[in-house]
Amino acid sequence: MGEIGIKELKNTASRVIDEVEAGDRVIVTKRGRPAAVIMSIEDAEDFVLAHAEEFVGMRLSGRRAHRAGRSVPLDEV
């Protein structure tokens, strides 16, 4: 993941977007401190879905079931 200052981003936005479209993620800094992340729309969608309440709940429920021995091996599904 690359890092770029906000002033440099203003001057090189097209290049940065090309890099992001190619699969890179870029941390944008403001006064030397991380302020934002630029990522592809596909990565953003995955991030949102991974943190959606219903999916977080399902993951937690699955982990509890596994710890309690109520899970089934994948090859038996």
- Predicted local distance difference test score (pLDDT) of residue 19: 94
Q: In DSSP terms, which residues pair with 38 in a beta bridge?
A: 26
Q: Are 3 and 26 in contact (CB under 8 A)?
A: yes
pLDDT digits (tens, 9 = 90+) for 18-69: 999 999 999 999 999 999 999 999 999 998 988 888 888 888 998 999 899 8
Are 10 and 34 in the same domain? yes
pLDDT of 50 reads: 85
- State whether 34 and 44 are in the same domain: no
Given a cut of 80, is residue 1 above it in pLDDT?
no
Q: pLDDT at position 77, please?
A: 76
Whether residue 51 sits in one domain with residue 18: no
The pLDDT value given to residue 76: 80
- 20 occurs within a structural domain: yes
pLDDT for the residue 16: 96
